[in-house]
Chains A and B, each alone.
Chain A
Amino acid sequence: MPDWRASLHRSRRSLGLSREELGRLAGVSAATVRAYETGRRRASRRHLQALIWTLNVPYDEGNAMLEDAGFAARKTRFTPQNHPHYYYAAEELPRAVEEAPWPEFVLNDAVELVAANSAVQAVWDVDVAAERAVRSQVQMNLLSVASDGRFADRVGNWDEVVGALATVLKARPHDIDHPNPYLDAVLAEFARGDSAYLARLTDVWVRTPPHDSRCYWRYPVVWRDAEHGEMRFLATVSVCSEPDGTAFNAWHPLDGQTWDALARVKARWTAVRALAHAGEVRAHAGT
């Protein structure tokens, strides 16, 4: 634990400020600054906080100083009161993911698909809005579709990708050994796909360590497109909203070949969408 008085002295000196200047800027007297630095006086939280802010002490160091002086550290910079828009709201998500040039989607803490950009839909060859209209919430769980040929036959590293989903699910406060209606419903969906995958899922689940979720982590994805070949991604999972338990999943292409394939896959998707739209227009005109 660093000595808060020494830290205060060092930070002030590193900025070349006199005690008078610092005191004036922080709204405390020069005598107080002196007393804090020399150990003559206990700190008041308000004054110490003002000094930390004025000296622009980095957050972690500032917290260490506060704790050393006997105060509770500031726990988070972004409270809902100070920063109501810090985390993403559900309605902001479609726009947020669409800004990414790579496949990007948002999952909640039950690994249900909350939002997906057009690159994801192009790669997966899935119209998410249309699927959402006909699927139940459990069927929007990515694990429930992991045995579906549209997913299973295209993911080159199935065990790893499913392991990544399992990591998130295992981080939730429950246990596969105990009855869990939600997980049962997901597994029932999963079992409707290729039955060979059930044994693999059990295997992956058992081997996936629980509680290793972090605020930022990655999993590799090897995706095989029948027409445009193999695409390699390193997916980054990052915080979208901690109150809602949602996370961005960004599939970053790992090489130039993947970017080329992605461009072709996107073009194919645009063409397919245009055709579908034309079909809808014709159908509508016909009625």
Chain B
Amino acid sequence: MPARNGHSPDGEWRQMLLRARKRLGVSREALATLSGVSASAVRGYEIGRRHPKQDSLEAILDALKLDRTESNPIRESAGFAPVRSLYDHRAGYYFTVEELQTEVERVPWPEFVVNDTVEVVAANRMASAVWGLDFQAERKRRTPLQRNLLAVASEMDFPRVVENWDEILELLASVYKGSANMDSDLGEPSPYLAQVIGHFTTANPQFLQRLLEAWTRATPSPAKVRLTYRVIWNHRRHGRMIFHCVMGTASEHEGLTFNDWIPVNPATWTALHGLMLELGEDPRAWEQYLSRPRRVLEP
């Protein structure tokens, strides 16, 4: 049971409640019927005569269906704990690793998922096609450490293929430096990072210098629920592809993050269509999918 907070200026929440009720055009009597809190109690709260119990206030907030940016200040000003997330305890809100391999195949662009040590845990066909690595097959063959994005990158020659490789390394280093639980000093890496770098260096020694330089340049960036980065990829057969990449939450409980590589111009789509044809897929499939009449949002 949250304690009453005697420090917040009393009265502010009363005004906020009154304003919200008026805005929605609900009389005190109507609110009483909806919430099960008597009209005289509602009046008492609004004019400053009474203080609500938590249950009564919640009943009123629920009846008015205020969103949390509006209901939380009322809760806090009235001395109760704010609701921090609707979703924390909802089963199925976050993804599990098992679900992700199916999930990533739902998009036509490259998409993969990394865990909080930057190991790839799922990747779709387009990501595999762009990288030139069959992730499904490699997943079984590799140790988790060998699925670390840095390890994969050095093996698959990312530093040579990706035009803005140093920019990406710098972003990665910024995230590492800004996060309390991750390595910030490459001079004294954790055993895990030391192994990743070892793998990285063995596959492609000349890139270690670039990694060190990017790490030195990088300024710590605070952890953020969404990050974006650019990838300019020179594909041997299909030419230059430009992606605007978005990282978004797959599971905060399990530290999983989606990476969507969104093509940002017609040329990149043409190149991806070329890769789809090589995979034996129809590049027009998405167009057909969209032009098909559907009555409900498909899962």
Contacts and interface: CB of A to CB of B under 8 A. Distances in A.
B269 A109 contact: no
Contacts of B69: 90, 108, 244-246
Contacts of A213: 87, 93
A263 B107 CA distance: 23
B294 A159 contact: yes
Interface stretch (A143-151, A214-222, A278-286): A214-222
A255 B30 contact: no
Given A54-B190, A181-B24, A239-B248, A59 B262 contact: no
Interface string B11-34: 000000000000111100010011
Contact of B248 (A53, A60, A109, A238): A238
A2 interface: no
A218 B191 contact: no
Interface in B47-65: 62-65
Contacts of B7: none
B88 A75 contact: yes
A156 B291 CA distance: 9
Contacts of B192: 15, 55-56
B222 A232 contact: no
Contacts of B132: none
Interface residues of B, number: 83
Interface hub of A56, A243, A253 (most chain B Cβ within 10 A): A56
Contacts of B246: 236, 238, 250
Given A160-B294, A179-B34, A239-B248, A245 B68 contact: yes
A241 interface: yes
A87 B233 CA distance: 30
Contact of A215 (B116, B143, B249, B295): B249
B225 A234 contact: no
B297 A185 contact: no
B226 A212 contact: no
A157 B291 CA distance: 9
Interface residues on A, range: 35 or more
Interface string A220-256: 1010000000001010101111111110101011111
Interface stretch (B155-163, B164-172, B205-213, B253-261): B253-261
Residue among A174, A241, A250, A260 with most chain B CB within 10 A = A250
Interface stretch (B36-44, B133-141, B282-290): B282-290
Contact of B143 (A14, A232, A260): A14
Interface string B208-249: 000000000000001111101000000000000000101011
B119 A58 contact: yes
A57 to B, nearest CB: 8
B191 A17 contact: yes
B106 A218 contact: yes
Nearest to B295: A159
Interface centre among A25, A164, A213, A254 (most CB of B within 10 A): A254
A76 B143 CA distance: 26
B95 A215 contact: yes
Interface string B263-274: 111110110000
A94 interface: no
Contacts of B253: 59-60, 63, 73, 75-76
B251 interface: yes
A99 interface: yes
Nearest to A54: B190
Interface of B: 23-26, 30, 33-34, 62-69, 72, 82, 84-88, 90, 92-95, 97, 106-109, 115-117, 119, 143-145, 180-181, 190-193, 195, 222-226, 228, 244, 246, 248-256, 258, 260, 262-267, 269-270, 286-287, 289-291, 294-297, 299
14 contacts: A15-B192, A59-B253, A73-B253, A109-B86, A174-B62, A179-B34, A181-B63, A214-B92, A216-B95, A222-B290, A240-B226, A244-B68, A252-B109, A256-B266
